[in-house]
Every structure is written in C-alpha cells, then in structure tokens.
Amino acid sequence: MANQPKKTTTKSSSRKKSVQKRRRKKSTKGSTLKKSLFIVLGVFLMIAMVVFGYFLGQLDLADGQKRTTQTYKRDTRDSTNKFLEELSKIKTKKPREKQEIVVQKAPKREKNSSVKPLLQKEANEEEVVTKDEMPKRMITHNVLSSEITQKPKLVIIIDDVSTRDQIKRIQATGIKLTPSIFPPSERSSTSHRLAEGLEHYMIHLPMESGTAQFNTQAKTLITTFSKAEIDARVNELRALFPTARYINNHTGSVFTDNYAAMRRLYSALRKEGFLFVDSRTTASTKVPMIAEEFGDAYVARDVFIDNQQSVPYIHKQLQRAVKKAKKKGYAIAIGHPHKITMKALSSAAAIFKGIEVVYMDEVYR
C-alpha cells in the first residue's frame, strides 16, 4: 500500500514531459511558419517597390518628353512668327519688267575651221571642271546688249556676300563689281536687307553639291524637291529681293547636272522675272540645254579669279578674263569678298586697260 503513490507520480511526470515536448514542437513549427511568411511578404514588398519605381520613372520620362515637345513647338512657333514679322516689314516693290534680250549670233564658219571652246578648266570652292567644250549648238547664244559696240566689257561678280562690311569693302574699290548676296541663313538672318538701296546686285542661291558639307546651309535646293517646294522657294526669294533680276548658283554641281530638277527651277525663276547665271561648278551642267529649250540665251561664268589667295594669281586670272573679253566682246569673272581679292582688284588698273569693267545689267539685258 505504501508504494502506490510513487507510481502515480512517475506517470504524471511522464505525461508532463510529453506535453512539453509537443508544445516545443508546435512552437518550433509556428516560428518556422512565421519566418516563412515574413520572407514571402518581404520579397513581395521588394517586387512591388521595384514595379512602382519603374512606373514612376515612366511617368517622369513621359512628362519630360511632353514638356520638351511643348517647348520645341513653342520655340518653333515663336521663330516662325518672328520670321513672318521680318518679312512683313520688307517694303515690297514690283519687279522690274523684263527687258528684251538681244542675241548676237556668231558668224558662220567654214567647214574646216574649228571653234575654240568657250569654257576652260576652272576650279572653285567646290570642284574642278574637267571638260572644256560647251555644246556647239550654244555658240550662237551669246547675249550682248546693243551698247556693246566698242570697248570689250568685263563683268566681275563677287559671290558669298552676307555682311555690310563686305558690301563696304566691295564699294571701296571704286570698281563696278556686282555683289551676289546670300539669302537669309545662319550666316545672317537679315542678309536680304543688304540689297536695300543697291541698284546692281544678284542673289547667290545655295544648291545641292556632291560634297555633303556644302549642303548644310539653310534652304539649300535639293534635287528631290517637288515643283511646289521649288516654286515656294522662288516666291520667297522674290519677296526677300523685290528688285533682283539675276541669280547664280552657290556650289550646285549636283543640282545643275540634274535635268529634271534644274528645269523645274529654271521655269520657276523665269516666271518671277529672274535670269539664271550659271556659275558652272560642273562641266556637265544641264543649264545650256534648258536655256535653249526655252529659247533663252545661256549666261555663264568664264573665269574664277581667286581660287588661290594671292595677288599674283588673281592678277593672272584677271588677265585671262580680259583676254576672253577682248576676243568675244565680253566676259564674266567670279571672285569672293576676301580682303586679298579686293586688294588685287584695286591694283589691277593696268590689267583693265583697253576694256571696261561693268555691272551685270550693262551686258546682259
């Protein structure tokens, strides 16, 4: 009887230990489950933050692009309005009526006689002209005014004019030089105003060249332009230069060699009362053919005078131009508004002996 309590105590102790073990196992399982849940929630939160951050970034990018687009449109609109305002300030004059072109035909030659080419190898800022002979059918298209009866005439065009200082430099020579002025561009947005008050001047029109760097100037004519685009450009030139009568090409070896593009331009110029003077930056120019088709005289450069920047070289080229003028009654030379060119021209009085330096409209009517 005395040993019965001990058995009860032992059984009770065993039960307690068993319950404690089960509790510890449950506690361990619960702790592991909580840790797993926390890890899953953490990963989910990280993914959510990344997605949210990306979404915010896209919104900022779209907003930035929208602001940039709005700013660009506003700047473009302001620039356009400013240009239109400048155009509205130009005092438009009616273009002078076209004057009659007097064509002097070359005398008939004998069968065995030879015709010396009217074009020579020349180099300008764009390329070297390698072919010498103009199409023979063009030899009768020399345009001379009725005033050319005694002294041979020499026209000297000064290309690339875009500043008032260049005009002053040209005028300071005291020689009848014909400036050819660039239309408004990045060089000068108001270059058209240089023509105000000038009786004798030309427009120097940028046209497509085979050299990419020459095609970057504002509104350079490209061969792929449509008739509407070319017409719009020519109409703009007439508004900018209401009294202009002559246009020559700046570079333009590719454009003048493209028959379709050049014909579109030639027709548009003709309608606005412009006479195209071919600078002949390529020997394969199609302007002679087109001028003949319209029944017009072909007007072109004979000599470039300042491909090399030295007084002796420029004087040598002037001598060539004078020789041509004496042989056929007139000639056209082209130079640029360099200081050395002006210096060479100012000291060329002896070279000009026996001929008369005249403006373009004193030879071509």
Yes or no: say if 198 and 178 are a contact pair by the CB < 8 Å rule: no
Torsion of CA 273, 276, 277, 279, to 10 degrees: 150
Which residues neighbour 166 within 8 Å (Cβ) at sequence distance 6 or greater?
A: 158, 179, 337
Q: CA 99 to CA 97: how far, in whole Å?
A: 6
Tell me the per-residue pLDDT of 218-235, one tens digit each, with 9 for 90 and over: 999 999 999 999 999 999
Query: Per-domain residue ranges for the chain?
Result: 1-89, 103-107+117-362
Q: CA 196 to CA 179: how far, in whole Å?
A: 13
Tokens of 311: 């007084």
pLDDT tens track, the chain, 365 positions: 445 555 555 556 666 656 566 666 556 666 677 777 778 877 777 887 777 776 666 665 555 555 545 554 565 556 555 555 655 554 444 444 443 333 333 334 333 333 233 333 333 444 444 333 343 333 333 455 544 457 999 999 999 999 999 999 999 999 999 999 999 998 899 999 999 999 999 999 999 999 999 999 999 999 999 999 999 999 999 999 999 999 999 999 999 999 999 999 999 999 999 999 999 999 999 999 999 999 999 999 999 999 999 999 999 999 999 999 999 999 999 999 999 999 999 999 999 999 999 999 999 87
- DSSP symbols for 145-161: -TT-SSS-EEEEEEEEE
Q: CA 72 to CA 69: how far, in whole Å?
A: 5
The structure tokens 């070359």 sit at 106
Q: CA 20 to CA 73: how far, in whole Å?
A: 79
Side-chain half-sphere of 255: how many Cα atoms within 13 Å? 28
Is the whole model's pTM more than 0.85, yes or no?
Answer: no
Of the candidates 329, 276, 303, the one whose C-alpha atom is nearest the C-alpha of residue 146 is 329
Which helix or strand (DSSP H or E) is residue 320 part of? helix 311-328
CATH of 103-107+117-362 among 3.90.1150.10, 3.30.230.10, 3.40.630.30, 3.20.20.370: 3.20.20.370
For 245, other C-beta atoms within 10 Å of its C-beta total 20
Name the percent of the chain lying above pLDDT 90: 57
Name the percent of the chain lying above pLDDT 70: 65
Q: CA 273 to CA 96: how far, in whole Å?
A: 8
Q: CA 50 to CA 138: how far, in whole Å?
A: 77
Tell me the per-residue pLDDT of 59-86, one tens digit each, with 9 for 90 and over: 655 555 555 455 545 655 565 555 556 5
The structure tokens 């246009």 sit at 247
Per the document, the length of the chain is 365
Task: Characterize 64-92 residue by residue with b for buried, 16 or more Cβ atoms within 10 angstroms of its Cβ, and e for exposed.
Answer: eeeeeeeeeeeeeeeeeeeeeeeeeeeee
- 364: exposed, middle or buried (Cβ count in 10 Å: 0-12, 13-18, 19+): buried
Which residues neighbour 329 within 8 Å (Cβ) at sequence distance 6 or greater?
A: 104, 142, 144, 148, 152, 153
Yes or no: say if 217 and 196 are a contact pair by the CB < 8 Å rule: no
Tell me the per-residue pLDDT of 266-290, one tens digit each, with 9 for 90 and over: 999 999 999 999 999 999 999 999 9
